[in-house]
Structures are given as structure tokens and as C-alpha cells.
């Protein structure tokens, strides 16, 4: 098997099992915190906030990509690749894989929160190894489905380096309900990860489970929001009935 084919094969496997990477990453971070417990003897509210903002900055990139994307694209599917069209406008006109860039900043915020410089280096290297293969697999699928159309798009737009000179206005209107439906669990997962890391830091230093009042406030707020959205999603069609509307201005171009 050629190297590229082997990487695509690995990428398809990683794509189907990508939900397990956060769990493995989190367990490794727990171990590193325990080993480096002396780093957490002093409180660091502003640094913690900085790391949380980096993670939510990554989530903001995901929200923009999901909100403007076409139906049956930029989804949370894990069994197989799905795409009914090529997203080429808005943030997708700047970079081909904005969701993966968003994920990078989410996990960079998590890695920085641990305050261990070599853990950040390990995260970056693992991330590049992991998503390089997933990107190859995804682009192989898109090229096989859309052919020359995708090749022309890939020739114009870089995979991970944004070029703001190539911006094309969004083809579709932003869909709030779609974002809430798809990203509710991701937002809550980010908060839970930070809460778990904070608890482990407290346990490693003081031998007890505890949280500062601001972490309690953040945890309660996002738990309530998550449960409300989950209840609406399970019991109504409110989050599923938002139509995809194409912008007239774009159609006239």
C-alpha cells in the first residue's frame, strides 16, 4: 500500500473513532497534572480565564462554520463521510477546514490550562499527526465525489492557512437553530473538561475535591443551558425546523 493510501486508510479509521481522542487526551492530562502537582500551588484566575477564552475562540470558529454551512455538511457524523455539496463561501473561502482549526484552539486552551509546556508541545504534535490523516481521508472522499469541482476549490483555498484576500460572501443565511442543535454538546464538553482539570488540580495539591466560586457559577450556568437545549431537542421539533435559505445577493452575483 502506498504511503498516501495508508494515511487515508488510517484517516478513515480515525474519523470513525475521533470521539475517543478527547477521552484519551483528558486522561493523559490528568496524569501529567498529578505528576506536576507543584505547579498548582498558587491560584491563577486570569490565566485560567485566558485559557478558557482561547477554547471558546476555537468554538466560535466552529459556530461560524456550522451556522453558514450547507445541509449535510460540517456535521457530527462518525460512521462515514457525508457531503451533498462543497462549502466554498464565507469562512470556507478562507480555509478548507475551519472546523479542525476550531478544534485546534479548543484543545490548545485545554493544554495551556495544564501549565505544562511539554504537554502543549505533545498536544501540537499529536494533533498534527491525527488531523493530517483525517484531512487526507476527507479530501479523498470529496475529490472522488465532486471531481474537478473539488480540485479547483482545493487549488484556490489552503487547507489550514487562511487567506483573507480570497473571501467570498456566504451563500446561505446563518442558522441559529442549527448551531444550537449541533454545538450545544461541544460547548458543554469544553466547560466540563475545564471543570474536571480544575478538580484534578485541587485534588493533586490539597487532597480534596473543590472548586472556586467562579467555577461553580460557570458549571451551573452551562449545565442549565445544556439541559434546557437537550430537553427542547428531545421533546420538540423547534431546533429542526429552520430552513436553509440562500442569500439573494449571492444568487445575483
Please report the pLDDT score of residue 251 as a whole number.
47
Q: How confident is the model at residue 33 (pLDDT cuts 50, 70, 90)?
A: very high
User: Which of 6-15, 98-107, 205-214 shows the lowest mean pLDDT across its residues?
Assistant: 6-15
Nearest CA to 28 out of 100, 106, 110, 84 is that of 110
CA 127 distance to own-chain centroid? 12
The pLDDT, as a whole number, for residue 207 is 84
- pLDDT per position as a tens digit, 143-154: 888 999 999 999
Query: Tens digit of pLDDT for each residue in 34-53?
Result: 889 888 888 788 999 999 99
Distance in angstroms (rounded) separating the CA atoms of residues 178 and 91: 17
In CATH, the number for domain 3-175 is 1.20.120.1630
75 within 8 A of 182, measured Cβ to Cβ: yes
Q: What is the DSSP letter of 126?
A: H
Q: What is the pLDDT of residue 85?
A: 86
Q: What is the DSSP letter of 70?
A: P
- This prediction has a pTM of 0.88
Decide if pLDDT at 100 tops 80.
Answer: yes
pLDDT for the residue numbered 248: 65
The answer to whether 93 and 166 are in contact (CB under 8 A) is yes
Which own/partner pairs from 28-35 qualify as long-range (CB within 8 Å, at least 24 positions apart)?
29/110, 29/111, 29/114, 29/119, 29/197, 30/196, 30/197, 30/200, 32/114, 32/116, 32/119, 33/114, 33/116, 33/197, 33/200, 33/201, 33/204, 34/200, 34/204
Give the span between the Cα atoms of 178 and 242, in whole angstroms: 7
Q: Quick one: pLDDT at residue 1?
A: 55
Confidence band of 2 (pLDDT split at 50, 70, 90): low
Distance of alpha carbon 181 from alpha carbon 196, whole angstroms: 24
Question: Taking the mean position of all CA atoms in its chain, how far away is CA 197?
Answer: 18
pLDDT reading at 213 higher than 50:
yes
Residue 5 dihedral angles phi and psi, to the nearest 5°: -65, -40
Q: Which residue has the higher pLDDT, 13 or 183?
A: 183
- Name the residue among 105, 115, 102, 104 with its Cα closest to residue 63: 102
Average pLDDT, integer, range 101-117: 94
pLDDT digits (tens, 9 = 90+) for 126-174: 888 888 888 888 888 888 889 999 999 999 999 999 999 999 999 999 9
10 Å Cβ neighbour count for 158? 13
What 3-state DSSP class applies to 120? Answer: helix
Amino acid at each position: 500500500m502506498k504511503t498516501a493510501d495508508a494515511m487515508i486508510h488510517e484517516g478513515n479509521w480515525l474519523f470513525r473513532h475521533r470521539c475517543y481522542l478527547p477521552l484519551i487526551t483528558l486522561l493523559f492530562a490528568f496524569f501529567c497534572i498529578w505528576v506536576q502537582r507543584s505547579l498548582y500551588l498558587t491560584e491563577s484566575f486570569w490565566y485560567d480565564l485566558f485559557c478558557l477564552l482561547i477554547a471558546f475562540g476555537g468554538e466560535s470558529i466552529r459556530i461560524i462554520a456550522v451556522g453558514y454551512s450547507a445541509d449535510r455538511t460540517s456535521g457530527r457524523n462518525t460512521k462515514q463521510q457525508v457531503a451533498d455539496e462543497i462549502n466554498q463561501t464565507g469562512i470556507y473561502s478562507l480555509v478548507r477546514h475551519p472546523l479542525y482549526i476550531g478544534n485546534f484552539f479548543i484543545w490548545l486552551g485545554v493544554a495551556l490550562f495544564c501549565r505544562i509546556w511539554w504537554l502543549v508541545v505533545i498536544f501540537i504534535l499529536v494533533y498534527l499527526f491525527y488531523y493530517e490523516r483525517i484531512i487526507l481521508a476527507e479530501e479523498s472522499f470529496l475529490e472522488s465525489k465532486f471531481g474537478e469541482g473539488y480540485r479547483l476549490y482545493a487549488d484556490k483555498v489552503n487547507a489550514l492557512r487562511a487567506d483573507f484576500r480570497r473571501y467570498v460572501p456566504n451563500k446561505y443565511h446563518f442558522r441559529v437553530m442549527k448551531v444550537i442543535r449541533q454545538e450545544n454538546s461541544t460547548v458543554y464538553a469544553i466547560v466540563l473538561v475545564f471543570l474536571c482539570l480544575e478538580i484534578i488540580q485541587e485534588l493533586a495539591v490539597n487532597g480534596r475535591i473543590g472548586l472556586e466560586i467562579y467555577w461553580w457559577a460557570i458549571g451551573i450556568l452551562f449545565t442549565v443551558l445544556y439541559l434546557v437545549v437537550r430537553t427542547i431537542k428531545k421533546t420538540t421539533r423547534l431546533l429542526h425546523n429552520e430552513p436553509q435559505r440562500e442569500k439573494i445577493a449571492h444568487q445575483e452575483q
